Amino acid sequence: MPALGLVLNALGIGLFCWAMFALAVYALPFLVALSFGMIAFHGGAGVIGALLVGIAAAALTLAVGEAAFAVTQSVALRLMIATIFAVPAAIAGYNVVFALSQIGVPSQAWREAFAALGAFCVGGTTWTRLTVLRADPPVRAG
């Protein structure tokens, strides 16, 4: 039975890490949705109204960000958009890895090092997933 528990724990942590990397692109839209939803709720929109405002804000943020990144020709603007999406994901990755490292790493310095590495990996993954959306037009011969 302990072996089964270890295997299931490893699978659960693996699934959690996969979900963290797969959903990292949506950290900025989630932050925007949460902010706008709270503003709407405190403005008197109620729970359902705040939920709808939050969903609309997240969808609009994601759509505008991806469209702006895909359409723009400026490398500096693409760099700025990718950074705006990657920074919240890196912060979330830092916090998740730091929390998970508290389970088995006794040293504070090593926890910070692992968390910084996690932030770098999650931010880089977000950056990469966003840049995949940018398709260069095919080059015509002649």
> Per-residue pLDDT for 112 more than 90?
yes
> Per-residue pLDDT for 132 more than 90?
no
Q: Residue 50: what pLDDT?
A: 94
Q: Residue 41: phi, psi to the nearest 5?
A: -65, -45
pTM: 0.77
The domains of the chain are located at 20-131
Q: Which long-range contacts (CB under 8 A, 24 or more apart) does 36-43 make?
A: none
C-alpha closest to that of 62 among 24, 8, 17, 90: 24
Q: Residue 120: what pLDDT?
A: 93
Instruction: Kindly report the average pLDDT of the chain as a whole number.
Output: 86
Q: How confident is the model at residue 136 (pLDDT cuts 50, 70, 90)?
A: low
What's the whole-number mean pLDDT along residues 78-95?
90
